[in-house]
């Protein structure tokens, strides 16, 4: 008789977005005349930029011609894309990342979920609290997290690093030494960032303690301030302790197109074993590459025209962030994020729980956001709004909240 992977049964169930959906549906059915504005889920709303669409059309046409047809893509991704990434995302910022240290994929969710496979099940992970849930849940599936305590919302074998107003939403070095450290900056859900000096401390800590950092830079394009690093490889010594994950979802609107990449420097070794070699083996065995058409679309992200159009798109969302941030502040809310990230993180008023505030906002302003407690115990008492809506809806939502 076969057996299932029982670790899956330990997962407490992802109630966050399904509960939000259910509550919104029920409210809509009971109040069909109300117009609900959704500033909850982190999906983009603006169409793909013209330079990218043009590149995709061209690639589609190439696929219909014998001479330019392409079958399976190279395991690690096409050179044209990996060269563009290496030049524009790294060398242009003074980071020495070679094209062959870049693994093209279909997005950062898969990579952030799959990367734990190359590590022993005995490793102890450390995560920020609140956190993007994929890091924890995929380690639960692998059997690395111990037992779940429904009262605290915590796993016995996970090191939680609280990120609250008190520490500026930037985690302190943990008291217990972890093996694998997940960091994400600019952060989802808090919208906070880390300075280069502070990230350097993490890199030094990882090198000294023999830990590896998995650095999720999915929101890098939203960085506006000078002292915020765009890549962990801006820090000295990161090549021996850090893996970096990137996505085209939020900088180029590829949430539906799907493209991302992982960087593993060749110097990153566990004893004599190269993590680059392990991931190359994993990638080659289990993955057959992002589509040629999509990789050409990714290449266009780095063209002069593409860069210009995407700068405007990011500015559009960041204008929404400003509208939310300033609107809430003027209404007396305690707000953070929204300066280098498309997420605004607010303290719920009058000691409401995150879910109480969710209901309050839905019923009184017909605005949907995300309860902070859904991202981890330290998110309780906080609430996330995203800047990914249309400007019109964002402005309308904030006017409604201000009028409460």
CA distances 197 to 32, 200, 212, 228, 239, Å, are 52, 5, 18, 9, 16
- Cis preceding linkage at 186, omega within 30: yes
Q: Taking the complex as a whole, how short is the minimal distance between the CB of residue 186 and ligand PLP, in angstroms?
A: 9
Question: What is the sign, positive or negative, of the torsion defined by CA atoms of 298, 302, 304, 309?
Answer: positive
Q: Is 156 annotated as a binding residue?
A: no
108 labeled part of a ligand binding site: yes
**Residue 255 makes contact with ligand PLP by CB under 6 A:** yes
Nearer to ligand PLP, 219 or 292 (CB): 219
Residue 384 is assigned to a ligand binding site: yes
Residue corresponding to tokens 């893509």: 73
If the CB atoms of residues 295 and 366 are measured against ligand PLP, the closer one turns out to be: 295
Residue 188 binding ligand PLP, by CB under 6 A: yes
Q: Which of 212, 218, 335, 362 binds ligand PLP (CB under 6 A)?
A: 218
User: What DSSP character marks residue 173?
Assistant: P
E strand or H helix at 160: strand 158-162
- Rounded Cα distance, 144 and 137, in Å: 10
3-state secondary structure 73-121: CCCCCCHHHHHHHHHHHHHHHCCCCCHHHEEEECCHHHHHHHHHHHCCC
Q: Find out whether 187 is annotated in a ligand binding site.
A: no
Among 39, 40, 42, 324, binds ligand PLP (CB under 6 A): 42
Q: Does 221 contact ligand PLP by CB under 6 A?
A: no
Please state, as a whole number, how many other Cβ atoms lie within 10 Å of the Cβ of residue 230: 17
**DSSP letter, residue 41:** S
Hey, how many other C-beta atoms are within 10 angstroms of the C-beta on 151?
7
Q: Would you call 94 exposed, middle or buried from its count of C-beta atoms within 10 A (0-12, 13-18, 19+)?
A: exposed
Question: Is there a binding annotation on residue 258?
Answer: yes
Shortest distance in whole angstroms from residue 189 CB to ligand PLP? 8
Q: CB of 111: closest distance to ligand PLP in angstroms? A: 8
Binds ligand PLP (CB under 6 A): choice among 179, 216, 244, 380: 216
What CA–CA distance (Å, rounded) separates 121 from 124?
8
The rounded distance, in Å, linking the Cα atoms of 181 and 168 is 19
**Tokens 């420097």 identify what position?**
265
249 is in an annotated binding site: yes
- Annotate each residue in 95-134 with x if it binds ligand PLP (CB under 6 A) or - if it does not, as one string: ------------xxx--x-------------------x--
Task: Select 219 or 355, whichever has its Cβ closest to ligand PLP.
Answer: 219
What minimum distance in Å lies between the beta carbon of 208 and ligand PLP? 26
**Closest CB to ligand PLP among residues 86, 386:** 386
d(CA 273, CA 259): 28
**Residue from the set 125, 184, 235, 300 that interacts with ligand PLP by CB under 6 A:** 184
Question: Is residue 260 close enough to count as binding ligand PLP by CB under 6 A?
Answer: yes
Total residues at interface with ligand PLP (CB under 6 A): 14
Q: What 8-state DSSP symbol labels residue 16?
A: H
Binding positions for substrate: 15, 42, 109, 132, 188, 288, 384
Binding positions: 15, 42, 72, 108-109, 132, 188, 219, 247-249, 258, 288, 384
Chain residues that interact with ligand PLP, rule: CB under 6 A: 42, 107-109, 112, 132, 184, 188, 216, 218, 247, 249, 255, 260
């Amino acid at each position: 008789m076969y057996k299932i992977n029982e670790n899956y049964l330990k997962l407490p169930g992802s109630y966050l977005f399904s509960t939000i959906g259910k509550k919104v549906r029920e409210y809509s059915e009971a109040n069909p005349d109300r117009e609900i504005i959704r500033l909850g889920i982190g999906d983009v709303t603006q169409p793909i930029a013209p330079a990218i669409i043009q590149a995709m059309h061209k690639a589609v046409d190439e696929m219909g011609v014998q001479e330019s047809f392409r079958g399976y893509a190279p395991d690690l991704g096409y050179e044209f894309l990996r060269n563009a990434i290496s030049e524009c995302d790294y060398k242009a910022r003074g980071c020495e990342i070679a094209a062959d240290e870049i693994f093209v994929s279909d997005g950062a969710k898969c990579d952030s979920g799959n990367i734990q496979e190359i590590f022993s099940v005995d490793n102890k992970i450390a995560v920020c609290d609140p956190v993007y849930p994929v890091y924890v849940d995929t380690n639960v599936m692998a059997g690395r997290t111990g037992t779940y305590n429904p009262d605290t919302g915590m796993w016995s074998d996970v090191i939680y690093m609280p990120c609250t107003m008190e520490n500026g939403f930037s985690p302190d070095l943990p008291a217990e030494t972890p093996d694998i450290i997940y960091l994400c900056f600019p952060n989802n859900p808090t919208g906070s960032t880390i300075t280069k000096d502070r990230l350097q401390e993490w890199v030094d800590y990882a090198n000294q303690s023999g830990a590896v950092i998995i650095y999720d830079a999915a929101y890098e394009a939203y960085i506006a301030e000078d002292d915020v690093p765009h890549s962990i490889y801006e820090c000295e010594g990161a090549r021996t302790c850090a893996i970096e994950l990137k996505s085209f979802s939020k900088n180029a609107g590829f949430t539906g197109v799907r493209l991302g990449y992982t960087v593993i420097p060749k110097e990153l070794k566990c004893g004599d074993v190269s993590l680059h070699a392990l991931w190359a083996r994993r990638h080659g065995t289990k993955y057959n590459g992002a589509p040629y058409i999509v990789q050409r679309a990714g290449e266009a992200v780095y063209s002069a025209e593409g860069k210009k159009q995407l700068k405007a798109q990011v500015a559009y969302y960041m204008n929404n962030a400003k509208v939310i941030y300033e609107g809430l502040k003027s209404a007396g809310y305690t707000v953070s994020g929204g300066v280098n990230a498309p997420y605004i993180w607010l303290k719920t008023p009058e000691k409401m729980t995150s879910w109480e505030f969710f209901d309050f906002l839905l019923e009184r302003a017909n605005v949907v956001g995300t309860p902070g407690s859904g991202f981890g115990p330290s998110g309780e008492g906080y609430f996330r709004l995203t800047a990914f809506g249309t400007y019109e809806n964002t402005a309308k939502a904030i006017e409604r909240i201000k009028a409460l």
